[in-house]
Amino acid sequence: SAGKMEVDAAVEMFSRSEELHNIRYSSYIGDGDSKTFKGIFESRPYGEDCTVLKKECVGHVQKRMGARLR
């Protein structure tokens, strides 16, 4: 499914970033869908000592809040 492909692609991107580019992503900016972040978090791409944090995309938060207030 498309959702599974998104999760797999994000996990792969995080997992190989250190080897290919010598960088570690410390944050994931998400759109409210927790499946992708959950996949990254559970894969522990940089080992147990480095945790990736989730940040919410402001535009998506505003959109969800506005819809609920109407």
Decide: 7 and 36 in contact? Cβ < 8 Å.
Answer: yes
* pLDDT mean over 47-62: 85
* Confidence (pLDDT) at 61: 67
The model's pLDDT over 4-20, given as tens digits with 9 standing for 90+, comes to 999 999 999 999 999 99
pTM here is 0.75
State which residues form the domain around 18: 2-69
DSSP letters for the chain: -HHHHHHHHHHHHHHHHHHHHS----EEEE-S-HHHHHHHHHH-TT-TT--PEEEE-HHHHHHHHHHHH-
* Confidence (pLDDT) at 25: 96
Indicate whether 40 pLDDT > 90.
yes
Total domain count, the chain = 1
Indicate whether 59 pLDDT > 80.
no
